[in-house]
């Protein structure tokens, strides 16, 4: 015999899953096309060229801007980062690119608009972008350049080797200057479909987890851990995101469910930032480039950004 209330909870979860699917799947298709365009017009090697020769300040802004509009996967961001460092880019500039890349991109923006509205999205993008610029400047002044492992690029668009470790890159656009805009758009559409198909399982998994949280997890349990009565809710959320990270597209449905259950939006965004920036796969890849101290600085910076965004949202915005 089923426990009392379970059928209703499962039905509620199913309804919420369909609700998320109606909102997120069309937005995700559009975001996938934008990802394809970014990879067509700004492939990794072009990003490296654009950032060469920049100094602190304006260089950090440019690096964060390119990180925001080039949503490469982690396995592609790390080789780009390796290329920047090998070419002599300042560590702080490279960090601004690294911090902005997972936190501010087309997927995050469109899905955040669909889930939380334009106002929340604008505040989120503004704060995280400023944090990526400021974080890069601060890290650049800490004198940690000697904590970068020796880097050797074997293929500028496909691999980076650091101290014997190899990082394979995701596929990206070729930015062939002889191609017409129509050919770029057609190629972007093919890349978008491939990206959508590859990432859809993570989106579905995230929606399923979010639906179960919405329908089956008691609200009082969530509030005990992440509610305003717990003064450590925001730091806990920022730290909890990493071990449960699926992908950014999978994290946001979970975040939407937490918000629907009454968890403060700042706490929810801290959870998203912690997961996107300090995910275990991301740290494994970065370990090929950074010595332990610098890796800890990166992780601490992301968690600090998550906590800062969470506190600012909870106290001043929503």
Q: Give the model confidence (pLDDT) of 102-142 as tens digits.
A: 888 777 788 788 888 899 999 999 999 999 999 999 999 99
Q: Which residues of 134-165 are buried (b: 16+ CB within 10 A; e: fewer)?
A: bbbbebbeeebeebbbebebeebbbebbbeee
Q: With beta carbons less than 8 A apart as the criterion, state whether 155 and 82 touch.
A: no
Closest Cα partner for 158 from 149, 177, 171? 171
Domain ranges in the chain are 6-317
**What percent of the chain stands above pLDDT 90?**
22
Q: What pLDDT was estimated at residue 157?
A: 41
More confident residue, 127 or 242: 127
Q: What pLDDT was estimated at residue 265?
A: 92
Decide if pLDDT at 274 tops 90.
no
Residue range 264-277: mean pLDDT, rounded: 88
Q: What pLDDT was estimated at residue 314?
A: 92
**What percent of the chain stands above pLDDT 70?**
79
Decide if pLDDT at 8 tops 80.
no
Decide if pLDDT at 25 tops 70.
yes
Decide if pLDDT at 220 tops 60.
yes
Q: What pLDDT was estimated at residue 123?
A: 93
Decide if pLDDT at 16 tops 90.
no
Q: What pLDDT was estimated at residue 108?
A: 76
Q: What pLDDT was estimated at residue 159?
A: 46
Q: With beta carbons less than 8 A apart as the criterion, state whether 72 and 101 touch.
A: yes
Decide if pLDDT at 85 tops 90.
no
Q: What pLDDT was estimated at residue 156?
A: 44
More confident residue, 148 or 196: 148
More confident residue, 215 or 21: 21
Contacts of the segment 289-292: beta carbons below 8 A, 24+ positions apart: 289/78, 289/81, 289/82, 289/85, 289/148, 289/149, 289/151, 289/160, 289/162, 290/147, 290/148, 290/149, 291/147, 291/148, 291/149
Decide if pLDDT at 34 tops 80.
no
Please tell me the pTM assigned to this model: 0.78
Q: What pLDDT was estimated at residue 76?
A: 61
Task: State pLDDT tens for residues 161-211.
Answer: 444 444 444 444 444 456 777 887 888 788 778 877 877 887 888 888 888
Split at pLDDT 50, 70, 90, the class of 58 is: confident
Residue range 99-104: mean pLDDT, rounded: 86
More confident residue, 278 or 159: 278
Q: What pLDDT was estimated at residue 317?
A: 82
Per the prediction, the chain carries an average pLDDT of: 79
**Of 79-83, 97-101, 136-140, the least confident:** 79-83
Q: How many CB atoms lie within 10 A of CB 182?
A: 8
């Amino acid at each position: 015999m089923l426990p009392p209330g379970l059928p209703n909870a499962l039905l509620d979860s199913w309804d919420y899953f369909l609700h998320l699917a109606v909102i997120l799947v069309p937005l995700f298709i559009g975001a996938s096309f934008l990802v394809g365009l970014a990879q067509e017009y700004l492939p990794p090697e072009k990003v490296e060229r654009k950032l060469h020769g920049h100094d602190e300040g304006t260089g950090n802004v440019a690096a964060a801007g390119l990180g925001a509009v080039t949503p490469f996967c982690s396995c592609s961001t790390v080789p780009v980062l390796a290329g920047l460092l090998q070419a002599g880019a300042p560590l702080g500039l490279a960090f601004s690119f690294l911090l902005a890349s997972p936190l501010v991109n087309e997927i995050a923006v469109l899905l955040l608009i669909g889930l939380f509205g334009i106002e929340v999205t604008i505040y989120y993008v503004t704060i995280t972008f400023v944090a990526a610029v400021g974080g890069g400047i601060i890290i650049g002044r800490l004198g940690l350049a000697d904590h970068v492992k020796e880097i050797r690029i074997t293929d500028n668009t496909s691999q980076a080797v650091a101290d014997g470790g190899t990082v394979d890159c995701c596929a990206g656009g070729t930015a062939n200057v002889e191609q017409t805009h129509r050919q770029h758009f057609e190629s972007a559409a093919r890349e978008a479909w491939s990206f959508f198909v590859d990432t859809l399982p993570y989106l579905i998994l995230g929606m399923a987890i979010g639906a179960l949280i919405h329908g089956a997890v008691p609200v009082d349990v969530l509030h005990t851990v992440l509610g305003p009565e717990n003064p450590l809710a925001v730091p806990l959320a920022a730290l909890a995101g990493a071990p449960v990270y699926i992908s950014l597209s999978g994290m946001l449905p979970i975040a939407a469910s937490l918000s629907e259950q009454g968890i403060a939006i700042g706490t929810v965004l801290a959870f998203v930032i912690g997961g996107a920036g300090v995910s275990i796969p991301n740290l494994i890849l970065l370990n090929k480039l950074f010595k332990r101290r610098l890796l800890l600085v990166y992780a601490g910076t992301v968690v600090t950004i998550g906590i800062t965004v969470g506190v600012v949202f909870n106290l001043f915005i929503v």
